[in-house]
């Protein structure tokens, strides 16, 4: 049945962020905000938001990732979940039709791109639905419904306006994305061992050679493809999603992970400063993963966090003693929100509670608030009972 039309923005409650795009109402006037597929304006501060690919993470960081900002993810110990988040981010870009840039020093970017999760098909492509309609008319046999037969020729879900007007999609991690879908979007890659020879001549600079090459590559791409806001506005705009894997690890030539007083302490911070400046002046959004558990000097990690806009840290239970702890058996790890940005406003969006735990399910990366209540009793013969209440954070 047709969805009831809900008018736009009411009091700030959880439902309203979905009400903004749950309606088919379209404003006649030409708004100030550019209408780019896969984006929506924020209800808090009017910024243009894109989805990170994980809807629960979007909720935790305040509705989505603002265009022009940088998301920092502190990796978990074996880099399993942070890599998954990077893949979700890139997969969301493919589905929304954004351009992608992937920089990596360890694994070839093509390998990461081949592992992108497949989107859950119900949401995507009216085109696929039309073909399905023709097919279903012929085969009445097993597909025919007994009671709701009037609906049997409709595709299971039809999106309202366009396939990419939805904000946030769901992905099935057990399947990888179709190569055709991936090739439909423009992916640019940067793989450090291919870009520069290992021994290069030393130019005087605050950044090391690897970061310099990466920054130059991003800058050239932004200028060439016209993502910067200074470019003429005649052609249609798109968003560039930049994903950088494992910055700060020794494979980028940086030794902040190896020593407590590294010789090159400002290399990563200079890069992030330049990178954020590039992001602010262009229609780009960046996601960076950093192996913070290897960085010895906490001051450097503090500087890195300050130089990024939104920062979250993943702490997985894998391989630690918490994995067998019955209190944590429902989750794969804890998620800490280190920082949320103030973007053109005085107050930043902070999640209600800091006790967030995540679990990677097949079709969803769930982030939940975990409450652990411990009931202590004075009498020694009674056991300590643990009561766990689960509340969805999104």
DSSP string, 93-143: HHHHT-EEEEEESSS-HHHHHHTPEEEPGGGS-HHHHHHHHHHHHH--TTT
29-48 residues in contact with another protein (CB under 8 A) are none
The C-alpha atoms of residue 230 and residue 350 are separated, in whole angstroms, by: 32
Give CA separation, 7 vs 187, 269, 283, 386, in Å.
Answer: 37, 45, 29, 44
317-376 residues in contact with another protein (CB under 8 A) are 318-319, 321, 323-324, 329, 361-364
Nearer CB in complex with another protein: 347/389: 389
Pairing of the two strands 171-176 and 356-360: unpaired
φ and ψ of 322, to 5 deg:
-75, -15
The C-alpha atoms of residue 174 and residue 117 are separated, in whole angstroms, by: 7
DSSP string, 196-261: S-SS-PPPS-SS-HHHHHHHHHHHHHHHHHT-BTTS-SSSPP--EEEEE-STTSGGGT--TTT-SS
| Residue 104 binds another protein (CB under 8 A) | no
Q: How many CB atoms lie within 10 A of CB 146?
A: 6
Of 16, 123, 172, 228, which one interacts with another protein (CB under 8 A)?
123
Binding residue count for another protein, defined by CB under 8 A: 66
Q: Residue 118 Cβ, how far from another protein at the closest point, in Å?
A: 15
| Residue 378 binds another protein (CB under 8 A) | no
Nearer CB in complex with another protein: 28/199: 199
The residue among 33, 31, 24 whose CA lies nearest residue 6 is 24
Of 28, 150, 224, 235, which one interacts with another protein (CB under 8 A)?
150
Residues with Cβ within 8 Å of 59's Cβ and at least 6 positions away in sequence, in order, are: 351, 367, 393, 394
Of 11, 127, 147, 347, which one interacts with another protein (CB under 8 A)?
147
Q: Residue 189 Cβ, how far from another protein at the closest point, in Å?
A: 15
Of 28, 32, 146, 235, which one interacts with another protein (CB under 8 A)?
146
Nearer CB in complex with another protein: 8/193: 193
Q: Residue 281 Cβ, how far from another protein at the closest point, in Å?
A: 31
67-86 residues in contact with another protein (CB under 8 A) are 78-81, 83-84
Which range, of 17-25, 27-35, 237-245, 336-344, touches another protein by CB under 8 A?
17-25
Which range, of 64-72, 254-262, 335-343, 378-386, touches another protein by CB under 8 A?
254-262
Pairing of the two strands 333-339 and 310-316: antiparallel
Of 18, 135, 216, 342, which one interacts with another protein (CB under 8 A)?
18
Check residue 294 and report its DSSP letter: T
Q: How many CA atoms lie within 13 A of 2 on its CB side?
A: 6
Q: Residue 207 Cβ, how far from another protein at the closest point, in Å?
A: 14
The residue among 355, 294, 296 whose CA lies nearest residue 328 is 355
The C-alpha atoms of residue 337 and residue 339 are separated, in whole angstroms, by: 6
258-297 residues in contact with another protein (CB under 8 A) are 258-260, 291, 293-296
String marking each residue 169-208 x if it binds another protein according to CB under 8 A: -x----------------------x----x----------
| Residue 118 binds another protein (CB under 8 A) | no
Which range, of 32-40, 45-53, 256-264, 335-343, touches another protein by CB under 8 A?
256-264
Cα angle, residue 62 at apex, residues 280 and 314 outer, rounded to 5°: 90
Q: Which residues contribute to the site for another protein (CB under 8 A)?
A: 1-3, 18, 21-22, 24, 55, 78-81, 83-84, 106, 108, 122-123, 133, 137, 140, 146-147, 149-154, 157-160, 166, 170, 193, 198, 249-251, 253-255, 257-260, 291, 293-296, 318-319, 321, 323-324, 329, 361-364, 389-390, 392, 394
């Amino acid at each position: 049945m047709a969805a009831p039309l809900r008018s736009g923005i009411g009091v700030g409650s959880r439902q309203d962020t979905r009400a903004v795009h749950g309606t088919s109402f379209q404003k006649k006037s030409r708004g100030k905000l550019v209408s780019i597929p896969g984006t929506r304006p924020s209800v808090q501060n009017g910024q243009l938001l894109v989805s990170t690919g994980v809807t629960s993470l979007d909720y935790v960081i305040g509705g989505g990732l603002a265009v022009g900002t940088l998301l920092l993810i502190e990796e978990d110990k074996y880099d399993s979940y942070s890599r998954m988040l990077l893949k979700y981010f890139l997969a969301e870009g493919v589905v929304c039709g954004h351009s992608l840039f992937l920089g990596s020093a360890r694994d070839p970017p093509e390998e990461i791109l081949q592992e992108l999760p497949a989107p859950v098909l119900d949401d995507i492509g009216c085109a696929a639905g039309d073909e399905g309609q023709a097919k279903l008319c012929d085969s009445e046999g097993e597909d025919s419904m007994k009671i709701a037969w009037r609906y049997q020729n409709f595709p299971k879900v039809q999106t309202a306006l366009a396939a990419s007007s939805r904000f946030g999609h769901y992905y099935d991690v057990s399947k990888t994305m179709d190569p055709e879908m991936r090739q439909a979007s423009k992916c640019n890659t940067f793989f450090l061992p291919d870009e520069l020879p290992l021994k290069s001549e030393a130019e005087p600079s605050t950044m090391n050679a690897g970061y310099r090459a990466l920054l130059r590559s991003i800058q050239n791409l932004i200028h060439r493809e016209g993502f910067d806001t200074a470019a003429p506005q005649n052609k249609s705009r798109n968003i560039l999603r930049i994903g950088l894997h494992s910055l700060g690890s020794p494979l980028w030539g940086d030794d902040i992970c190896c020593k407590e007083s590294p010789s090159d302490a400002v290399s990563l911070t200079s890069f992030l400063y330049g990178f954020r400046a590039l992001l602010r002046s262009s229609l780009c959004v960046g996601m960076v993963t950093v192996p913070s558990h290897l960085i010895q000097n906490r001051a450097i990690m503090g500087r890195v966090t300050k130089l990024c806009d939104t920062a979250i840290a993943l702490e997985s239970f894998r391989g630690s003693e918490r994995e067998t702890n019955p209190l944590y058996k429902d989750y794969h790890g804890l998620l800490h929100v280190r920082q949320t940005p103030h973007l053109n406003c005085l107050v930043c969006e902070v999640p209600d509670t800091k006790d967030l735990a995540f679990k990677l399910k097949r079709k969803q990366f769930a982030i939940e608030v975990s409450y652990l209540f411990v009931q202590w009793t004075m009498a020694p013969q009674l056991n300590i009972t643990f009561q766990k209440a689960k509340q969805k954070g999104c």
